[in-house]
Structure formats: C-alpha cells, structure tokens
C-alpha cells in the first residue's frame, strides 16, 4: 500500500542475548544464595534447539570471580565439541569456570539446554544428614511436580556423590551418577552443593527453585518438624 521504505530491522544475535542473560541470571542466583563467594555457576546454550552439534555454542562464566558483578563481555563462549575447537574467548586475568569439563559432559549426555551449579546452603545440608547415604529421597510434596518427568505421586531420587579436591576433577563420578540415575536432572555433591540441568534455561532455573525448596523442606524436617 505504502511506498514508504521499510526500516531495516536489526536482529540482536542470539549469542549477544544469551551472554546478557547469563550475567543477569548470575546476579539473580547470587541473591538466592546459589552462587556464593566466587563459587557456583550457570551456563546455557546459545541455541537451545535444532542446531547441529558442530554449530552449537555454549556460554560460560569465568572462574573465581564475583558472580554478582558479571557483564556480558565477561562471558566465555565455547564450542560444544569436546575438546572445544573454536571460538573460545579467553580473558586475560580470569579463566573459564573450573566446571567447564563437567558442563560439556552434561550437555552431551543429557542434551541439556542449560546447567546450574549451586552452593545453596540447604542443598549442601541434605548431603550431610547421612554421610553414608548416596541418595536424597523425598515424596509427597507438590513441588516434586516441578521436576522434569515427575508427578505428585512419584518419589524423587537424586544421587549424592563425594566431593573432589577441585571442581575440575568432578567429571567421572557425576558422569557415573547421571548414567545410574537417568530420571534425575540433578546430582548432589557432598558438603558442596548441587548440579541441576534442563532442556532449556527456563527448565533448569525453575527446576533449581524446586530442588532448593525440597531441600529446605527436608532441613526443617531434620529440625524436628514431622514429615
């Protein structure tokens, strides 16, 4: 109808958007106590769906930095190929998160869209209630429905693995636990915290809220509330 020329629409590239999203989530999770001190992390895929693996890229936080003060330009972008061949953006002072090898493994094994590593105190506590147990079990809580693949009457079973001297060494034992518990979307690490993943960053984030809620429920149970 009109001959007025169309303005050229500039689409913000997915990578730019996702780097901004990781820095935003990093602050949000910091305020929730999941990222604490310099620990804890969040990582997500640039494209969640329909991209062949050689074109998949993954955003990760640097290691040993303040997670409440991240900006998009602090982010690493890795190829999901392992070892990552291209497009890594190494910074001068920091390095990529120590959890990078495990994160890449989780992306590969679980076809995840995002992974969260949390130091949330309640998640840490549930691993300490019984130091010889290698499972966290809970049932009969509505919030279990928030965990991928679970309904209200399902028991939620999350594996607990032992802590390692460095996070870079936490690859083999979580891998085994993921294979042994295919229904779980989390692995607890004794006296440390929890790794949580989902098909998308939204799924990882909302499940993470549910896992921390259920851990808090168990804590109050331990403190004497009937359960």
Strand partners, 117: 41, 195
Q: Which residues contact 149 (CB under 8 A, 6 or more apart)?
A: 183, 185
Q: How far is CA 2 from CA 5, 8, 31, 149, 192, in A?
A: 8, 16, 50, 51, 63
Build a one-symbol-per-residue string for 144-163: x at contacts with its own copies by CB under 8 A, - elsewhere. Answer: -xx----xxx---------x
User: Left, alpha or beta for 112 (phi > 0: left; psi -120 to 50: alpha)?
Assistant: beta
Count of positions (residues) in the chain: 227
Q: Where are the beta strands (DSSP E) in 121-176?
A: 135-138, 156-161
Count residues contacting its own copies (CB under 8 A)? 47
Q: Which of 56, 88, 148, 206 binds its own copies (CB under 8 A)?
A: 206
Q: Give the span between the Cα atoms of 48 and 215, in whole angstroms.
A: 28
Q: Integer distance in angstroms from the first to the last C-alpha of the chain?
A: 68
Q: Which of 53, 85, 140, 183 binds its own copies (CB under 8 A)?
A: 140
Q: Is 181 in the site for its own copies (CB under 8 A)?
A: no
Q: Is 121 in the site for its own copies (CB under 8 A)?
A: yes
CB 171, min distance to its own copies, A: 16
Q: Which of 60, 75, 124, 187 binds its own copies (CB under 8 A)?
A: 124
Binding segment (CB under 8 A) for its own copies, from list 14-22, 48-56, 102-110, 185-193: 185-193
Catalytic residue ranges? 142
Phi, psi of 36 (to 5 degrees): -145, 140
Q: Is 21 in the site for its own copies (CB under 8 A)?
A: no
CB 198, min distance to its own copies, A: 11
Q: Is 66 in the site for its own copies (CB under 8 A)?
A: yes
- List of residues contacting its own copies (CB under 8 A): 36-39, 66, 119, 121, 124-125, 128-131, 140-143, 145-146, 151-153, 163-166, 189, 191-193, 202, 205-207, 209-210, 213, 216-217, 219-220, 222-227
């Amino acid at each position: 109808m009109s001959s007025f020329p169309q303005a050229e629409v500039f689409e913000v590239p997915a990578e730019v958007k996702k780097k901004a999203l990781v820095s935003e989530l990093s602050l949000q999770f910091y305020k929730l106590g999941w990222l604490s001190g310099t620990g804890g992390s969040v990582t997500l895929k640039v494209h969640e769906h329909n991209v062949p693996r050689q074109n998949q890229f993954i955003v990760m936080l640097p290691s040993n930095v303040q997670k409440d003060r991240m900006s998009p330009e602090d982010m690493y972008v890795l190829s999901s190929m392992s070892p990552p061949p291209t497009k890594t953006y190494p910074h001068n002072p920091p390095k990529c998160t120590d959890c990078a090898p495990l994160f890449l493994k989780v992306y590969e094994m679980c076809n995840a869209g995002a992974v969260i590593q949390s130091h949330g105190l309640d998640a840490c506590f549930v691993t300490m209630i019984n130091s010889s147990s290698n499972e966290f079990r809970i049932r009969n809580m509505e919030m279990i429905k928030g965990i991928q693949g679970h309904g209200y009457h399902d028991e939620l079973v999350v594996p607990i693995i032992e802590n390692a001297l460095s996070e870079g060494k936490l690859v083999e034992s979580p891998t085994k636990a993921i294979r042994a518990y295919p229904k779980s979307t989390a692995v607890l690490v004794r006296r440390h915290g929890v790794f949580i993943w989902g098909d998308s960053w939204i799924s990882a984030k909302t499940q993470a809220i549910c896992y921390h809620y259920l851990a808090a429920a168990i804590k109050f149970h331990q403190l004497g509330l009937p359960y």
